[in-house]
Structure 1
Amino acid sequence: MLTQAQLSCRQADRQRHDLNKNDTKYWGVIHLTSLDLSKPPICLMYLPFLLVLWCTFDAFIWKNGRYSEVPPLELDSTDYEGSIIIIGAGPAGISAAYTLEYFGFRNYQILEAKEEIGGRVQEMDDFIDIPLDLGAEWIHTHPRILQDMILFNDTVTEETIVYRPERYRQVLGDRVKVPLPLRWLFYREWKFKSTTWKSYLNDYMHTYVQDRVQLNTPVTTIDYTGAKIQVTTAAGDTLEADKVILAVPPTMLKNGRIEYVPDLPTAKTTEIDKVVPYEGFKIWFEFDEQFYKDYTILDSYRIYFDGVFEKPTGRNVLTMLSAGGAETSDLIKLSDEELFEFHMNELDTIFRGKASEHYIQHRVQNWSKEPFIEESWEAGYTPPFHQGTILQPVDDKIYFAGAYLNEPHFASVHGAILSGRQVAQKVLLDAT
């Protein structure tokens, strides 16, 4: 039988043992010294199974999945006899008009402030031998959505590519390193092969509504006090309509460029203010040699990427995308030439003078300075964000559309297109 002293000693030993169990070093030693090296680790035993699982995931989920279905149409036709003005001829505005056309409604017009349609969906076809997207260029879902968004009997013929860069570099201060492969294991997007988002918008939607678009017509005032909405343009013209669809960037809703009579409800402006538009720009550099990788990461907001990755051209184009962040906020204040010089110096530092050695030409698109746009894209919103509050019309007269109002496809071109479709249907449904 153990004495009280022996019991006390054993209890003390047990306490020390319990403390050691929680000590990382203790468990590290026990683990290493107790390994049975005659048996392979469990992770290696299951490696073949994991590889098969990954290949299955890659083939079926990425190539055929990651796709939110396009919502079905909510009506077949309309007998609405009112009038509609759409303000903004970007993807959302053009899509709204395209949807109205599909339902046989033609008493509408589109007022666009700029000299061409598209908003941030633009292209340049005079830089190299194929057109390049000046603004949005990624297809942030499976490309079959391009056909699913078509309402008439058109067949989309645009070819797309799987955008999955294989060669990465990350710049940390004055050091260039390769990021961990796992960081990019699940990354995949799609892009147009030899066309652009602008050509898609032109070929399949704008062609149906082009005779209803009035360019170079900025709107200054929307007065909805009476039975009819009075829309005043910068030229002093006043147009009347029963309904208005506002399909302009959130920055244009925030900066007071359009006056509302009376003011928009506080609940609505509060939610609009929660949308976070990113400042930003893009720069394209053509070189006579590809000395850069597919993707060079500077930080969360600034990247260099191969601008013609997998595209049918023999030219070498490196694209700089800067959107959001403190450094972008400073850089957008520079002139186009200053932006070019800053980034050429940066590239020479990263690639040891090769940028200047192989330079041919460049192009700058500063979206933050672009009139009637003044932003690159909507990065998100400040929670809690009540999207439904913005989607509800003001006095059943003023409706809102845009990529920031399509939750499943937030801040994407197809999100803007689907938002325009949704709002156009809501206008017709509310009027019946």
Structure 2
Amino acid sequence: MRICYTVAAAAALLPLAIARTIHTKVAIMGGGVSGISAARNLTAGGVDDFLIIEARDELGGRAQNTDFANIKVEVGCNWVQGLGTNPINILRKKYGLETAANDGANVVFYDDTGPVNYTEAFNTYGDAYDRMSELADKRVENGQVDISARVGLDLAGWYPLTPLERAVEYYNFDWEYGENPEVSSLLHGIENDENSYGNTAFGEDSDGDLFVVDQRGFKHIFLEAANEFLEKNDSRVLLSTKITKVAYDVNGVTIYTDSDVTIKAAYAISTFSVGVLQHRDVEFSPRLPDWKMEGIYGFNMATYTKIFLNFPYQFWDDNQYTMYVDPDRRGYFAAWQNLNAPGFFPKNTSTNVFFVTVTQDYSYQVDSMADEEVKAEAMKVLRSMYGSDIPEATDILVPRWHSNPLYRGSYSNWPIGELDQHHVNMKAPVQNRLFFAGEAMSKSFYGFLQGAWYSGAETASQILQCIDSGCVEIEYYPLILKSKTYMKKRGLVKASLN
């Protein structure tokens, strides 16, 4: 839930296509939100000698929409999450992005007998989550180590024992983070949640989110932001070009592609997702340092799969959300959303879209199934909820983020075991020539579009400093050691430290 204008036609890129080598000051590898933000901030800093290399035929990254059942639906990011001064919310208002009021409390729960009263379990979880947040804050104040969100929930008095409790937890936790409490960091998860939804970062009235229904797509605001510094058919954008290898040294970066184009740059920004970096979909020469790979492999790339189904007519409730309470399988085709809900898409005779989200292991399972197999599983669940006489879905759309080599997932999640030092290493530049940006590189807003936007801007600022007055000393940890007790035994810290 938690992170395009096509600026050049193929014909317009012919001068680039015949060139064997392109020289540029800064190469931006990826035309998603962080890449656009980086280019925007380079321009503001007086550097317009850059090149954006994008594998797809348009900019926007994971902000993607497509035709489905006479409307356009967002296969990627779909919510403006965190209002107030959130830069994504500012772009929404500036460019008039059409959204619908989102209300997560406007939900109904079903099992195979029909509607289920979920209020008590819902409130109990909410109270426990509040206590867990307080627990997390105290652990930070006391300097205590991180624990998983599962442990945090248990210490706060919540452990799901019934199918309904598991469904309530899934709706409130997994459906947000993309992964379950067992693998998720408590301390970083709470901080991330408070930063994005509370008043911590974006001021008063920043809590809440909006669902994007604009038929121009969520990408519209990022394309419009790009249009402010890019010209039509701008030669500084190279589309439909996949990067295969990145070679770097103290003198610069050479980027090899799947076409006959090679790019030589003084500096380069990788905006590849952490999933792509983990899967080695792009070769780095030399191999990225061990200290950096530790941080990359320690982070998680969650997969959040929205499966869109269209029906001849609406047979489900008018609520925005519907949760299925499976007796055995937690999160199995569980979280349904009604695009006919008031304020979303108008009802008509041909568009009745009910879509379901799966995450983590079920996302991987769906990713490997044929569309008809996915539809059959979804229909089994719907008939358990609404009876056997409901109509068959006429259309289905299944995005496959996990197997897509351009993404390898949907957005990042901070797992238990990833230390702050690991994260510093993950985003640290290599030899002050190869820099890294993207939502996963944002400590405060990982998993969110604002994280991608901030990260791109921060990385551009680092390169501008390199160009203007010299790079600052790289902050990273060549060795990440164990506890202070272990360090005392090794004589690495004073024994008086506690």
TM-score by structure 2 length? 0.63
Does the Cα contact within 8 Å between 1:222 and 1:229 map onto a contact in 2?
A: yes
The match for 1:46 is: none
Structure 2 CA distance, aligned partners of 1:351 and 1:119? 37
Task: Determine helix, strand or coil for the equivalent of 1:367.
Answer: coil
Task: Choose the corresponding residue for 1:316, options 338, 352, 356.
Answer: 352
The match for 1:132 is: 73
The match for 1:261 is: 285
Structure 2 CA distance, aligned partners of 1:355 and 1:203? 42
In the TM superposition, residue 316 of structure 1 has moved relative to its aligned partner by 2.9
Letter in 1 for 2:34: A
Structure 2 CA distance, aligned partners of 1:96 and 1:173? 50
Task: Choose the corresponding residue for 1:244, options 268, 277, 286.
Answer: 268
In the TM superposition, residue 206 of structure 1 has moved relative to its aligned partner by 5.0
Structure 2 CA distance, aligned partners of 1:338 and 1:235? 36
The reply to whether residue 365 of structure 1 matches residue 399 of structure 2 is yes
Within-5 A mapping of 1:31-430:
83-129=25-71, 131-142=72-83, 144-146=85-87, 155-171=94-110, 177-180=116-119, 181-182=122-123, 183=125, 188-195=208-215, 196-206=217-227, 208-209=229-230, 211=234, 212-225=236-249, 227-287=251-311, 288-292=313-317, 293-298=319-324, 299-300=330-331, 302-309=334-341, 310-314=343-347, 315-324=351-360, 326-353=361-388, 355-356=390-391, 359-386=393-420, 387-430=423-466
The match for 2:485 is: none
In the TM superposition, residue 171 of structure 1 has moved relative to its aligned partner by 4.9
In the TM superposition, residue 88 of structure 1 has moved relative to its aligned partner by 0.9
CA deviation map 1:34-78 (0-9, x unaligned): xxxxxxxxxxxxxxxxxxxxxxxxxxxxxxxxxxxxxxxxxxxxx
Structure 1 CA distance, aligned partners of 2:378 and 2:85? 36
Does the Cα contact within 8 Å between 1:219 and 1:234 map onto a contact in 2?
A: yes
Task: Determine helix, strand or coil for the equivalent of 2:444.
Answer: helix
CA deviation map 1:364-385 (0-9, x unaligned): 2122233411212213234333
In the TM superposition, residue 125 of structure 1 has moved relative to its aligned partner by 4.2
Does the Cα contact within 8 Å between 2:80 and 2:88 map onto a contact in 1?
A: no
Structure 2 CA distance, aligned partners of 1:355 and 1:410? 40
Cα distance change, pair 331–361 in 1 and its aligned pair in 2 (3 A): closer
Letter in 2 for 1:297: M
Structure 1 CA distance, aligned partners of 2:275 and 2:323? 27
Structure 1 CA distance, aligned partners of 2:397 and 2:89? 34
Q: Give unmatched runs, 5+ long, in structure 2.
A: 1-22, 131-171, 173-207, 325-329, 469-498
Cα distance change, pair 327–147 in 1 and its aligned pair in 2 (3 A): closer
Q: Give unmatched runs, 5+ long, in structure 1.
A: 1-80
Q: CA RMSD in A?
A: 2.8
Larger RCO of the pair (alpha carbons < 8 Å, separation 6+): 2
Does the Cα contact within 8 Å between 1:279 and 1:332 map onto a contact in 2?
A: no
Does the Cα contact within 8 Å between 1:139 and 1:190 map onto a contact in 2?
A: yes
Does the Cα contact within 8 Å between 2:45 and 2:464 map onto a contact in 1?
A: no
Larger Rg: 1
The match for 1:34 is: none
Does the Cα contact within 8 Å between 1:284 and 1:307 map onto a contact in 2?
A: no
Structure 2 CA distance, aligned partners of 1:177 and 1:330? 28
TM-score by structure 1 length? 0.72
Structure 2 CA distance, aligned partners of 1:138 and 1:184? 22
Q: What's the % identity of the aligned pairs?
A: 21
In the TM superposition, residue 269 of structure 1 has moved relative to its aligned partner by 0.8
The match for 2:191 is: none
Letter in 2 for 1:203: E
In the TM superposition, residue 353 of structure 1 has moved relative to its aligned partner by 2.7
Number of aligned residue pairs: give it: 346
Does the Cα contact within 8 Å between 2:111 and 2:385 map onto a contact in 1?
A: no
In the TM superposition, residue 166 of structure 1 has moved relative to its aligned partner by 4.4
